[in-house]
Structure 1
């Protein structure tokens, strides 16, 4: 049996786990991502967690195929560097692979976190048996992992799939990237909480916005319907561009459930370009709580698959 360490670096927390080649998680640890310290210090903390996990699982270096890291973009997988992701503003050209390889004598691989999650869903989740699909994560930010003809579409530096900056509705105003009406500006968990708070006149979490939606708050319902419309519009563009068998949606916002999935499915069935495309299924991710670390580990077991 072979094992790998999967690391999922996010804007608020970092998770690390020892994962078997069967997909079983032997042990997992989550720590806060401390934005007040230098990235090198944060990587050192993650490295200490990895060392502790390896020791606690009783594994030897020869049992491990490597360490896979999923991280938000922009990044450069060829150089093994994280380059200024919006939710990690101090992480500018951080050579994360090099820094971690100094601590461990096993291969270290870096991939966009949405791409890693797509690999996890292909391996063990909702995309098992599919050769063409798009995994969409709707969370703090929005991104996609694209699998075409059975292989991950990464792009030149690993940044393919940044659909959060697909323009869908300029009336929402200017995104931090400079464009007007980006999907992430409208439909990310961060944006839903922000817009919902403005509408209600009090500070709300994303969950509280959706609670008001379910309770029938008219103004919130109108806003959330626009969010679903934006996600549906983006999904139609993905269907028309990549001709997938399925759109798989994960991330915290997907936990709102049926209203989101039905809205996106309806959009595709009405507006996708051709009859077959209009039948593309929209399904929930199956590994929401662990897909980050499982997908990162999958980089070591089946890189590029």
Structure 2
């Protein structure tokens, strides 16, 4: 049996799983990402839990082809390190591949977490059999995995797909990155909650904003429809740039479902440059919370 270990490192939790060549998740464990300790201590904990999974499955280390790791960017895949991730501030310049590889004696590969989610959806998810598509996660932040001609486009250092920092409307103000009008500043879950709070003059969550949207609160409907239009702008730019056949939407905000999809599709139908591009399909991602582990495993098994 040929297996891989997938590790998905996030700002609050880390998921570790063992996958077979068909993409089946044989077992997984989720542990807190403890930001009060140094990253090498977290690597100790990841390694301990990984070894426990291997023991529980009664598999040999020889059956494991390697370890794939997904982490938030910016990263440097050539140097195998996490560079300066906003969600992991204590991990700056941490040489993850070297550290983990030394502990386990297996090949370790690192990629951006959103890129790996795209790889997972192509392997066994919504985009199975698709060769040219973009996976976009709309959650706390916004990122993307770009698949062209059946291959992941990762860029020179592994940071391709930072679509959250495309400028779509400077009138929305200054993003945390310093630019005005970034997509992430406008349409991420964090941004939607912030704008709802400003509009209503009281603290609201993203979930509460969408509940009011479905209840047809006039102010919120206008706000959310404007946000959907800005997502449409970004998607048209990406379609014009990449000439893709499909957009797959993942992340918590995408669970809004058809209202968002219909709005973006309408925008694409009106404004995509190529007549064929106006037919670009939009689908929801299908792998849920396991997408990061599965994508990390795909990094090893889909050679």
**Normalising by structure 2, what TM-score?**
0.97
1:71 is aligned to 71
**Pairing of 1:212-251 with structure 2 (within 5 A):** 212-251=212-251
Alpha-carbon offset, residue 30 of structure 1: 1.2
2:208 is aligned to 208
| 1:8 and 2:4 matched | no
Alpha-carbon offset, residue 94 of structure 1: 0.8
1:253 is aligned to 253
Alpha-carbon offset, residue 35 of structure 1: 2.1
Distance in 2 separating the partners of 1:215 and 1:269 = 27
| 1:56 and 2:71 matched | no
2:142 is aligned to 142
Alpha-carbon offset, residue 200 of structure 1: 2.2
Question: 190-199 or 291-300: which moved more?
Answer: 190-199
Distance in 1 separating the partners of 2:205 and 2:54 = 36
Distance in 2 separating the partners of 1:185 and 1:179 = 10
Alpha-carbon offset, residue 73 of structure 1: 0.8
Distance in 2 separating the partners of 1:167 and 1:43 = 36
Alpha-carbon offset, residue 197 of structure 1: 1.9
What SS is found at the alignment partner of 2:90? coil
Distance in 2 separating the partners of 1:197 and 1:151 = 41
Distance in 1 separating the partners of 2:64 and 2:269 = 45
Alpha-carbon offset, residue 258 of structure 1: 0.6
Distance in 2 separating the partners of 1:137 and 1:201 = 28
What SS is found at the alignment partner of 1:156? coil
- Alignment deviations for residues 88-131 of structure 1 (CA, whole Å, 9 cap, x no partner): 12221111111111210111110111111111011001111111
Q: Which runs of 5+ in 1 are unaligned?
A: none
Distance in 1 separating the partners of 2:172 and 2:13 = 29
| 1:130 and 2:159 matched | no
- Alignment deviations for residues 4-60 of structure 1 (CA, whole Å, 9 cap, x no partner): 111111122111111111111111111222222222222222222211111111111
Alpha-carbon offset, residue 252 of structure 1: 0.9
Question: 210-219 or 239-248: which moved more?
Answer: 210-219
**Pairing of 1:91-240 with structure 2 (within 5 A):** 91-240=91-240
Distance in 2 separating the partners of 1:169 and 1:30 = 38
Distance in 2 separating the partners of 1:93 and 1:236 = 35
Distance in 2 separating the partners of 1:174 and 1:43 = 35
Distance in 2 separating the partners of 1:130 and 1:49 = 34
What RMSD over aligned residues (CA atoms) do the two structures have, in Å? 1.1
What SS is found at the alignment partner of 1:276? helix
- Alignment deviations for residues 142-195 of structure 1 (CA, whole Å, 9 cap, x no partner): 111111111111110001110010001111110111100000011111111222
